[in-house]
Structure 1
Amino acid sequence: MNTVLEKSTVDVATLPARLLELAHTRGDTVGLRWKTVGRWQSFSWRSYALRVAGVAAGLRELGVTRGGRVAILAENRPEWVFADLAVQGLGAVSVGIYPTSPPADVEYILAHAQVEIAIVENEEQLDKVLAVRGRLPVLRHIVVMDGRGVRPGDAIPFMDLERDEALDEFAASVSLLDPSSLAVLVYTSGTTGPPKGAMLSHANLLASGHTFAAALPAGPRDEILSYLPLCHVAERLLSVIVALSAGSTVNFGEGFLTDLHEVQPTIFLGVPRVWEKMMAGVEIRIADSTWLKKTLYRLCVRLGKRIAPRRMTGRASVFDRLVLTLCGLLVFRPLRAKLGMSRARVPLSGAAPIAPQVLEFLWAIGIPVREGYGQTENTAICTLNPPGDVRLGTVGQALPGVEVRIADDGEILTRSAGVFLGYLNDPGSGVDADGWLHTGDVGALEDGYLRITDRKKDVIITAGGKNLSPSEIENRLKVSPYVREAVVIGDRRNYVTALIGIELETVGDWAARRDLPYTTYADLAGKPEVVALIQTVVRAANRDLAQVAQVKRFTLLDKELDHEDGELTATQKVKRAAIERRFATRIEAMYT
């Protein structure tokens, strides 16, 4: 049996076809790495493609045909990607499910998508499916990647699913794919109701890969760390779509912070929470350091912030570069190495708004983060700050092939090859007759740069008729290393209030340095000293806000917001309606 694709016989119009091309052209180079029991191992592009072909053969034997639905419920690992591309290569539809999803959410997606086969990671994820299987008549088989603790007969081991199939046989299936057909279902986070299944075609995925590989730019020498959930469009974009388009190497680890330090990725996408926590961690370490280190750090950060605006626009002088080199040797270079950012050539922020102050800090220490904007519904193809002219507070310019305009009511509209096929079983796709996607976000275009105000449905209209952006106020609060979450209230109210969740690690460190004892999160949040600490944070944020937008009263939450309690989505976005219902009594107390 042939184990090598003799020649590239498939037109590269889909991601599986691109994988086959890489197996032919770069077969012996590393395509994937994964860490198991503390040791890194690797797959060449050829072995990567062979594993995908083997999974496809096994799924075919289980009866997966064109249009069939296969779900993947697992943390990030190579088998996730093997299954995803195998399903696509058969002309079937891959359905990702967040591994943090409770059984009720798992049941909803499996039923809504009419999933025939569920591929789960381990006993924990298997139990979720088994708990609801009796109500899923379409579900025929369950496959488990890690069978430890699993009773025989409950699921098919992943290793038993795979077959020995030549790449030429897999290529025959891939050659029959219609690029315009449905490839994956990506379920949205469901901040206002049940998640919707966004339908993305093979052509959508490939267009996204071509666009971003050129815009970042990304290439064969780049290293990517896969850590955000793969069923989210942002992680799939980097770990699957861009990695295949550019031939970059993807790393799957065992623990985010350790992996980040070991891999030192060249391309890294951080959601705002990651960047905020990174900044907070630096503040903790500096607070506990010696006087000399504190002084050097503060001096270098001050100089870095002064130079940052010139670096963003490519106008740093020779003297600026000398200052940055000196600061780098003294402070920034070892700091970036500890953060896992010593090789970060293309650091990015996306998926949610981020405070400009956080980006200013990152640029000051030599991490040139560029903010971008995209949605599941446009395969993440929309805008990105260009490397030579970064403007904080904006999400950049339209990417090549993308059109952006602002509707009369301020809503952002986009049109590109990434615009999706619509929502599964839902005619309300938000795409008009001219192909414009109505994003649901409100913003403005300034000299070609897009500035996002907020989600259209989240904009607050006060009792006095003033329109406010809650995310702008919340981001100013979350700049503080002591604040983990902030939920601003004020719609149809006389003034603005906030529910604030403290950052346990940083506030705990602050309390320890003051010999302030505590037992639990609730105990710490209830301390008068902690309330006073957060009061200083609120006052500092208010100084930068208009009078009508200032937070007049706040309440500290006595628990961390949680996905399983229905307060956050799987991507850690706040479910505002759920929060307002759950904490209604505390909210009303701030207005009485």
Structure 2
Amino acid sequence: MEQYTILDLHKRIATNSTNCLTFFNKQGELISKPYTEVFRDIRKTLIHMREFDIANSGTRFVVCGEPSYHWICAALAAIFNGAQLVALPESMSEEEILASIDGLSIESALVADKYKASKAFASVKTFELSNFCAQISSIDCDDDIVLSFMVSEKVIAFTSGSTAEAKFKAFEVPLQTSIAFTNRFRKLYSINKEDNWLICHSFSHIVHFEYLLGGLYWGYNVTIATAFQILMKGASFSPSVLVTVPSVYEQIASQIRNKFRLADDGENRLHALESRPISNENGDVIRYPLCEEAKLVLGDKLKMLLIGASPSSLELQTFLLQTGLPLYEGYGMTELNMISCNTPEKSKLSTVGPAWPGIEIKLDDDNCILARATPERACFYLNANQETNQSTFLDNGWVNTQDLGRIDDGVLRIVGRKKDIIVNAGGKNISPSSIETKLTSIPTVNHAVVYGDMKPYLVAVLSSTEKDRFLLEDIRCSLDRINTSLPLHERIMGFILSEEPFTVESGTLTRLGKVRRTKVIERYQAELEKLYA
């Protein structure tokens, strides 16, 4: 049986001169550093932390900022100093930070400049992340200098959260599970030392930090870039693995189509490509050689493209598979990591594949998906009440995902959500209830239903008893005001007025006067879809 431990991580980084971490600096220059050099910068950061008495062993230490080389050095230095890393999402509001870290007993923090004066860190020893890490260039850190390492074996991560609620639920992730996860990943998709994993999402989405840890531990190259940089320079990175959201893949598909249209006889070849079947009669995915146009966009080294965070359309999957891209759809939950995923050995269209190695899946009496991980990952929320914990973390290690599913021949299909959370095309989890409350504060609006699952923006159905000819303009003015108080991904970009008020008789309200969301959407979905045309 293969033996490995997170306690060896610093030794593996320090002795790996073969693989590189590639990233863009503040000036937009592409920098590539061997892991041995990365380790020297981590050592310098650790020394700097000890000079300022932060990230001490046994304490909790926040890193909050955009994904960067400085973020990586700060996080790993803290872990190697024995501090428990708290990977705080950088998109949080003041209210969300206060609510989410309440009770976590944070001792020190390195944060983006916009958070340095935050009330949430008023009693915390806090420094600006980039400035602090930039100072390490002047630190003397010869390899002969002996440093003691007290590797922290757990980090604190946060759920992707209902972004209209104040609190993001926090839980501990044993880093040993991160190493086990990436080991299984590299074996399933044949990732080796020559390969390059392209990361384009925040490290506070803890799985992307785990992809980085996998490269540092197992020895594959890692490149850090933004989604925009991937769209502009994707082929030059020669990625082997890319994990991102449907909205990015939509842009990649658009780029590939444009490559066809610019080529001689491109329209005819595009038409022929789009006529390809992508599955056989059993639903097994058909794999094609990578077309030249896709190579121009993402290079010719690809082994695995994973669609994550939110479901993708069949139309998008179809086109990407027709181009020969090695596309796989999976399903996961931050508390469990990957739950299921299609693999080279077993890929079924319109499914999220078989259970991931080390994961058991079953359905409860309501067809809600329950999953159990070995080794166990999260087992309780640090900042949630007993009721919330008990509804998610069940007996014997089972976790309730709150998603509805079906299992056919060992393959999982997602058929719906038990909760009303909207997941937009960018993977943002949005709770509609708070937004709907704001909408019903408009004097002429009695009820509201927000719509936008798998969509680039939100729209709404509004119900009013008024029929005044000035009603639409009044609502638009009020909506403009409300939108200024909402994050971009929660703003309502269009609306329709219901044909009639919501009532119990029409089936749009319950007997208690609550909106029957499913019935409203069923009735007005065609009109709502026109708002995306």
TM-score, length-normalised on structure 2? Answer: 0.73
Alpha-carbon RMSD: 4.2
AA in 2 matched with 1:127: K
**Does structure 2 retain, via aligned residues, the 8 Å contact 1:370–1:390?**
yes
Q: C-alpha distance in 1, partners of 2:379/2:317?
A: 34
Q: 1:387: Cα distance to partner?
A: 0.6
Q: C-alpha distance in 2, partners of 1:563/1:198?
A: 32
**Does structure 2 retain, via aligned residues, the 8 Å contact 1:224–1:249?**
yes
Q: 1:269: Cα distance to partner?
A: 0.7
**1:519-570: CA deviations, max 9, x gaps?**
xxx9xxxxxxxxxxxxxxxxxxxxxxxxxxxxxxxx9xx99x99982463xx
Q: Identify the match of residue 126 of structure 2 among 115, 124, 141.
A: 141
Q: C-alpha distance in 2, partners of 1:68/1:347?
A: 37
What does residue 334 of structure 2 align with?
376
Q: C-alpha distance in 2, partners of 1:589/1:168?
A: 75
AA in 2 matched with 1:242: G
Q: C-alpha distance in 2, partners of 1:167/1:310?
A: 64
**Mapping of residues 92-171 of structure 1, within 5 Å:** 92-109=83-100, 111=102, 113-120=104-111, 125-130=112-117, 132-133=118-119, 136-145=121-130, 147=131, 158-159=135-136, 164=141, 166=143, 169-170=146-147
Distance 1:168 1:31, change over 3 A: farther
Corresponding position: 1:347 with 2:338: no
**1:361-387: CA deviations, max 9, x gaps?**
111011121111111101x13211121
Q: C-alpha distance in 1, partners of 2:138/2:364?
A: 50
Q: 1:52: Cα distance to partner?
A: 1.7
- Helix, strand or coil: the match of 1:382? strand
What does residue 186 of structure 1 align with?
158
**Does structure 2 retain, via aligned residues, the 8 Å contact 1:111–1:136?**
no
What does residue 439 of structure 1 align with?
401
What does residue 263 of structure 1 align with?
237
**1:398-431: CA deviations, max 9, x gaps?**
1222111111111111111242142113243321
Corresponding position: 1:448 with 2:410: yes
**Mapping of residues 4-19 of structure 1, within 5 Å:** 12-14=4-6, 17-19=8-10
Q: 1:337: Cα distance to partner?
A: 2.6
What does residue 247 of structure 1 align with?
219
- Helix, strand or coil: the match of 2:378? coil
The unaligned stretches of length 5 or more in structure 2 are: 437-448, 460-475, 503-533
Distance 1:137 1:498, change over 3 A: closer
Q: Identify the match of residue 361 of structure 1 among 312, 319, 329.
A: 319
What does residue 470 of structure 2 align with?
none
**Does structure 2 retain, via aligned residues, the 8 Å contact 1:396–1:450?**
yes
**Does structure 1 retain, via aligned residues, the 8 Å contact 2:279–2:349?**
no
Distance 1:349 1:343, change over 3 A: same
Distance 1:165 1:285, change over 3 A: same
AA in 2 matched with 1:446: D
Q: Identify the match of residue 68 of structure 1 among 39, 48, 59.
A: 59
Corresponding position: 1:55 with 2:13: no
Q: Which range moves more in the overlay, 105-114 or 60-69?
A: 105-114
Q: C-alpha distance in 1, partners of 2:42/2:501?
A: 58
**1:36-90: CA deviations, max 9, x gaps?**
4454332222122222222223223314323322222222222211111111222
- Helix, strand or coil: the match of 2:338? coil
Q: C-alpha distance in 1, partners of 2:214/2:107?
A: 29
AA in 2 matched with 1:419: R
What does residue 279 of structure 1 align with?
253
What does residue 150 of structure 2 align with?
173
**1:189-232: CA deviations, max 9, x gaps?**
33462211122123332232222222233221110222111111
Distance 1:168 1:382, change over 3 A: farther
Distance 1:418 1:168, change over 3 A: farther
- Helix, strand or coil: the match of 1:209? helix
AA in 2 matched with 1:359: Q
Distance 1:312 1:52, change over 3 A: farther
Distance 1:201 1:23, change over 3 A: same
Corresponding position: 1:88 with 2:50: no
AA in 1 matched with 2:47: A
Distance 1:140 1:31, change over 3 A: same
Q: C-alpha distance in 2, partners of 1:315/1:70?
A: 47
Q: C-alpha distance in 2, partners of 1:584/1:292?
A: 40
**1:299-330: CA deviations, max 9, x gaps?**
22213xx25549984877xxxxxxx66xx6xx
AA in 2 matched with 1:129: K
Distance 1:169 1:117, change over 3 A: same
Distance 1:406 1:312, change over 3 A: closer
Q: 1:169: Cα distance to partner?
A: 4.2
The unaligned stretches of length 5 or more in structure 1 are: 1-10, 148-154, 317-323, 460-469, 479-484, 491-495, 505-521, 523-554, 569-573
**Does structure 1 retain, via aligned residues, the 8 Å contact 2:12–2:217?**
no
Q: C-alpha distance in 1, partners of 2:115/2:302?
A: 38
Q: 1:395: Cα distance to partner?
A: 0.9
What does residue 11 of structure 2 align with?
20
Q: C-alpha distance in 1, partners of 2:282/2:124?
A: 55
Q: Identify the match of residue 42 of structure 1 among 17, 27, 32.
A: 32
Corresponding position: 1:565 with 2:486: yes
Q: 1:498: Cα distance to partner?
A: 5.1
Distance 1:256 1:167, change over 3 A: farther
AA in 2 matched with 1:456: K
Q: Identify the match of residue 401 of structure 1 among 333, 339, 358.
A: 358
- Helix, strand or coil: the match of 1:423? coil
Distance 1:57 1:108, change over 3 A: farther
- Helix, strand or coil: the match of 2:55? coil
Q: 1:393: Cα distance to partner?
A: 1.3
AA in 2 matched with 1:50: R
Corresponding position: 1:218 with 2:210: no
**1:78-123: CA deviations, max 9, x gaps?**
2211111111222212122333434443444455543332223xxx
- Helix, strand or coil: the match of 1:422? coil
Distance 1:156 1:266, change over 3 A: closer
Q: C-alpha distance in 2, partners of 1:405/1:161?
A: 55
Q: Which has the higher helix share?
A: 1
What does residue 348 of structure 2 align with?
391
Q: Identify the match of residue 33 of structure 1 among 15, 19, 22.
A: 22
- Helix, strand or coil: the match of 1:440? strand
**Does structure 1 retain, via aligned residues, the 8 Å contact 2:369–2:401?**
yes
Q: C-alpha distance in 2, partners of 1:242/1:41?
A: 20
AA in 1 matched with 2:87: G
AA in 1 matched with 2:245: V
**Mapping of residues 377-526 of structure 1, within 5 Å:** 377-378=335-336, 380-416=337-373, 417-426=375-384, 427=386, 428-429=388-389, 430-458=392-420
Q: C-alpha distance in 2, partners of 1:264/1:590?
A: 55
**Does structure 1 retain, via aligned residues, the 8 Å contact 2:116–2:128?**
no
Distance 1:450 1:252, change over 3 A: same
